[in-house]
A and B are shown apart, each in its own frame.
Chain A
Amino acid sequence: MPRLTRWFIRAALIHLIAALLLGWILGLGRIMVLPPILAAASPVYFHLFMLGGVAQFIIGVAWWMFPPLSKERPRGNEPLAWAVFFLLNGGLILRAICEPWVAVAPQPIARWGLLLSALLLMVSGWIFMGLLWPRVKGK
């Protein structure tokens, strides 16, 4: 298993744990009053789960298992794939902080952070699509 895949999978597992913990806290909102910043974190829960957990796990395994490009560079541009790792996880963490913050106190720093997180997530997805596209092929 390549080093980058190990990092993707470890990060995915951490995101899954964080998402499930947040989901449990949000569930407590049915029996007790949560602080507004937590009550506004429902989109963060979905995105930590589906993007940070599920999609990141898939990305890690796809980087490892998809048909190689060539013998010299079997997986393609590795520095760009590392950029995907940092953009995705940086974007998600920034989003997890800024999205509930904007919902309860829309200060400029929170708004700019949220906008930056949207940009990081979009760019990470586009780069990964560009990296994986040529590897979707027969043997």
Chain B
Amino acid sequence: MLAHKAFPYAPWVMRLLPWHIHSLFLGWTVQLAFGVAYWIFPRFALERPGDPRGRAGWAWASLVLLNAGVLSAGLAGAAGWGVGLALGAGLEAMGVLAFVIHLWPRVRPAIIQ
């Protein structure tokens, strides 16, 4: 797209703008923050030794929803399909909600023994 701004060669590439925005903001920045938070945030090692990160299913759901959302929004945006773009954005929002449900109890001081 930036190359197209320099030397216009294919007007259709600008239809990829929603994909660019959704991929880089949600697919890269937000997802990397989620991945690192899942890794680093305080765990339940003492309370739940078998399930130290707790409610991991919500984090997995977030992974699937977020990526499905980025893909849907990107494809729909490229195709100029507004409903699909809204659907993708909805999936992304549910993905974020699922991760919030996962992470909420882990926002606490670390217990070291």
Interface residues in chain A, defined as those with a beta carbon under 8 Å from any beta carbon in chain B = 50-51, 54-55, 58, 62, 95, 98-99, 102, 111-112, 114-115, 117-119, 121
List the B side residues contacting A58 at CB < 8 Å. Answer: 29, 32-33
Residues of B near A112 (CB, < 8 A) are 6
Assess whether B28 is interfacial by the CB under 8 Å rule: yes
Asked if A118 and B2 sit within 8 Å, CB to CB, the answer is: yes
**Across-interface contacts of B41 in A (CB, < 8 A):** none
Q: Which residues on the A side are within 8 Å of B24 (C-beta)? A: 50-51, 55
Is there contact, CB below 8 Å, between A55 and B28?
Answer: yes
Query: Is there an interface contact between B29 and A54, defined as CB atoms closer than 8 Å?
Result: yes
Quote the shortest CB–CB distance from A106 to chain B (angstroms): 9
Contact assessment for B29 and A115 in the assembled complex, using a CB-CB cutoff below 8 Å? no
Q: Are A95 and B2 in contact (CB under 8 A)?
A: yes
Which A residues touch B32, using CB under 8 A? Answer: 58, 62
- Cβ-based interface call for B25 (8 A): yes
- Min CB–CB distance A135 → chain B (angstroms): 12
B104 within 8 A of A: no
**B interface with A by C-beta (< 8 Å):** 2-3, 5-7, 24-25, 28-29, 32-33
> A114–B6 contact, CB under 8 A?
yes
B3 x A115 contact (CB < 8 A): yes
Establish whether residues B29 and A99, one from each chain, have CB atoms under 8 Å apart when the complex forms: no
Q: Which residue of B lies closest to A132 (CB)?
A: B32
A39 to chain B, nearest CB (A): 16
Question: B2 to A111, Cβ gap below 8 A?
Answer: no
- How far apart are A115's CB and chain B's nearest CB, in angstroms? 4
Question: Considering the chains assembled together, what is the distance between the CA atoms of A112 and B7 in angstroms?
Answer: 8
> Closest Cβ of chain B: how far from A133's Cβ, in Å?
13
On whether the beta carbons of B25 and A50 are closer than 8 Å, the reply is yes
A12 CA to B6 CA in the complex, in Å?
Answer: 26
What is the bound-complex CA distance between A111 and B42, given in angstroms?
50
CB distance from A34 to the nearest CB of B (A): 20
- Which residues of B are found within 8 Å of A102, using beta-carbon distances? 5-6
- Asked whether A118 lies within 8 Å of B6 as measured between CB atoms, the reply is yes
Contact call B5/A99, Cβ cutoff below 8 A: yes
Provide the bound-state CA to CA distance between A58 and B25, in Å.
13
**Which 10 residue pairs across A and B have the least CB separation, nearest first?**
A118-B2, A114-B6, A115-B6, A111-B6, A118-B3, A115-B3, A111-B7, A54-B29, A58-B32, A102-B5
Contact B7 A55 (CB under 8 A): no
Contact partner, B29, options A50, A111, A121, Cβ 8 Å: A50
